[in-house]
Amino acid sequence: MTINALPPALIMILGGLLVPLFKGRARQALLLLLPVISFVNLLQIPVGSHWILPFLSDQIVLGRVDKLSLIFGYIFHLIAFLSAIYALHVDDTVQNIAGTVYAGAALGAIFAGDMFTLFAFWELLTISATFLILARRTERALGAGFRYFMVHVAGGLCLLAGIIMHVSQTGSASFGLIGLGTTASWLIFIGIGVNCAWPILHPWLTDAYPEATITGTVFLSAFTTKTAIYALARAFPGTEELIFIGAAMAAFPIFYAVIENDLRRVLAYSLINQVGFMVVGIGIGTALSINGAIAHAFNDILFKGLLFMTMGAVMYRTGKINATDLGGLYKSMPWTCAFCIVGAASISAFPLFSGFVSKSMVMEAAALGEMRWVWFILLFASAGVFHHAGIKIPFFAFFSHDSGIRCKEAPPHMLLAMGISAALCILIGCFPQYLYSLLPYTIDYQPYTTSHVLAQTQLLFFSALAFTLLLLAGIYPAEIRSINVDADWFYRKGCRQIYRFSRWAFDGINEWADRTFAQQFARLLAQFFEDPGANLQKYGYRLLVETSGIEGQHEQTAGKISSRSRSASYPVGIGVLLAVMLLALTSMLLFLM
């Protein structure tokens, strides 16, 4: 089949590599144009599988276009474009290339029709994302980037092992429904789970995203976890394990978010919380829940991107991001503040904002499936997310106590990117049918019923009431300059203990061996072979003296042995005796053999 288009990932990736050839305005234009050209190219590709090439005994498919991959394709292009606007001031070749290639890699992964292509783009995601972290060029970013890379390489290898086993068992590399069962499927499942930031596998996210560059974090928040959500929706829909994993993801990060000081880290925790809703949706596996999961991924990319943009703008202008250092910025940055509140309302799922129209689908699917505990946990997480992302972020950055910081409003290109994102959040919230028409399953879902709007408003207002009363009563935890250890403790501290233990154990063996063999034993040997004949005689003499107990002038005797040996002046008789003894020994040996 011949079509007048290029594979979906090609333009962004090749275009990204062309970036170093351009400077100044031309580069800015290129960075803005690439997502647009790539999007136009995507629209030219008809539904179906394209660019099928032979590979080993199988084939690779560079463009599998259907409703599931298309909706991710649309939102990835949109956020790539918005991020490019937001990052327009960044004149750093590393970041310019990494951001563009990163978006391209995500496109490649979601349009991959086979597992090998998926894996290749999966790894490219890791590599390009690592550079967005390293580009901050601080010591902490270096450490976080390194850990990010190691964790994702481990996850990638797990995925690769699963893919190879799966392909050899089934004989097909095509990437479709897998479902849990075989070892291969578990390996693929866990490999995807690393990128999806499942509990215990998650700390790469909360570790690295707040250490990345201001604009890098906006890119990062969109692609890696959402690509994993896509892969789960493709390969493991209706897998019950995902319901429990997702519920845990939705619930535990909110506790961390409440006590976290770094506001971008608060957002990182709430990112895991939101992805939890998507994972639950995929786990339930009904048309409504999967639609809900994907709609929520779409919305989350926008509102989480928006929130990271606003916090990035604060950081760009003030150089600070800890809640303890900020406050009262609404006077200096009123527009950023307003956009932040829109993002906060969207993530909290206020009626008329985007989160409302997608989160409710997952909740309703859980209720329809009679999953009471899951439903209660998700409701708890809904209240909690409002608490930390909805109120805490805008309140501590823009209101709270006046930090005394007076700065300029965010630069125009940042305001533009935030403004478009905020407008889209409201647009989707008010007219959800446009989003719904893009979803993989055709369903008739109405989010705006009186019951539902009332229920959600009550939930949120009373959560806000709890915040207000706790704050006024002084119970709300004060922000403290600190860090909170998470599961990454096991490899950040634990690995150091392993290192220390192995250093103690192996260095100990090494030192002992060095002392014993290299120093003492070698010295003894050297001493002995300096004058072996005399030493043997002296040893024999000493043995004789000790066993017989004869007292005499042993020192003199030993001296005599030494001088005799040195001058080789042995009496002839002894020489003859030794020669005879040697002869006797030799003939005996010959005779015996």
Partner 1 sequence: MSRQPIDFDEKPPIGIDEELGMFDKPENVKRLLRIFYTSVVLLLVVDIFYHKHAIFAWEGYFGFYAVYGFVACVILVIVAKYVLRPMVMRKEDHYDD
Residues at the interface with partner 1 (CB under 8 A): 89-92, 136-138, 143, 213-214, 254-256, 258-259, 316-317, 319, 328, 330-332, 364, 367-368, 372, 375, 379-380, 383-384, 387, 399, 402, 404, 406-408, 449-451, 454-468, 470, 475-477, 480-486, 492-493, 496
* Least distance to partner 1, CB of residue 105, Å: 23
* Least distance to partner 1, CB of residue 271, Å: 18
**Which residue, 221 or 463, is less far from partner 1 as judged by CB?**
463
CA distances from 335 to 156, 165, 414, 427 (A): 41, 53, 10, 18
* Least distance to partner 1, CB of residue 257, Å: 8
**Which residue, 496 or 515, is less far from partner 1 as judged by CB?**
496
- The secondary structure of residue 174, as a DSSP letter, is B
**Which residue, 68 or 341, is less far from partner 1 as judged by CB?**
341
* Least distance to partner 1, CB of residue 420, Å: 22
**Which residue, 234 or 388, is less far from partner 1 as judged by CB?**
388
* Least distance to partner 1, CB of residue 129, Å: 19
**Which residue, 136 or 166, is less far from partner 1 as judged by CB?**
136
Task: From 98, 388, 355, select the one nearest 215 (Cα to Cα).
Answer: 98
Question: At CA 156, angle to CA 154 and CA 160, rounded to 5?
Answer: 120
* Least distance to partner 1, CB of residue 351, Å: 12
**Which residue, 138 or 587, is less far from partner 1 as judged by CB?**
138
**Cβ proximity of 282 and 293 under 8 Å:** yes
- The secondary structure of residue 21, as a DSSP letter, is G
Task: From 453, 454, 462, 459, select the one nearest 430 (Cα to Cα).
Answer: 453
**Which residue, 132 or 214, is less far from partner 1 as judged by CB?**
214
**Cβ proximity of 322 and 480 under 8 Å:** no
d(CA 340, CA 129): 25
**Which residue, 130 or 215, is less far from partner 1 as judged by CB?**
215
For CA atoms 490, 491, 496, 502, the dihedral sign is positive
* Least distance to partner 1, CB of residue 496, Å: 7
d(CA 341, CA 335): 10
The residue type of 426 is I
CA distances from 40 to 44, 74, 98, 100 (A): 7, 10, 22, 16
User: How does DSSP assign 402-455, residue by residue?
Assistant: ------PPPPHHHHHHHHHHHHHHHHHHH-THHHHTTSSS--------HHHHHH
* Least distance to partner 1, CB of residue 450, Å: 7
* Least distance to partner 1, CB of residue 18, Å: 20
Q: Is 417 exposed, middle or buried (0-12, 13-18, 19+ CB in 10 A)?
A: buried
* Least distance to partner 1, CB of residue 376, Å: 8
* 65 backbone dihedrals φ, ψ, rounded to 5°: -110, 115
Task: From 115, 105, 123, select the one nearest 234 (Cα to Cα).
Answer: 115
Residue 176 backbone zone (phi > 0: left; psi -120 to 50: alpha; other: beta)? beta
Length of the chain: 593
* Least distance to partner 1, CB of residue 375, Å: 7
**Cβ proximity of 299 and 358 under 8 Å:** yes
**Which residue, 179 or 334, is less far from partner 1 as judged by CB?**
334
**Which residue, 284 or 297, is less far from partner 1 as judged by CB?**
284
**Which residue, 376 or 506, is less far from partner 1 as judged by CB?**
376
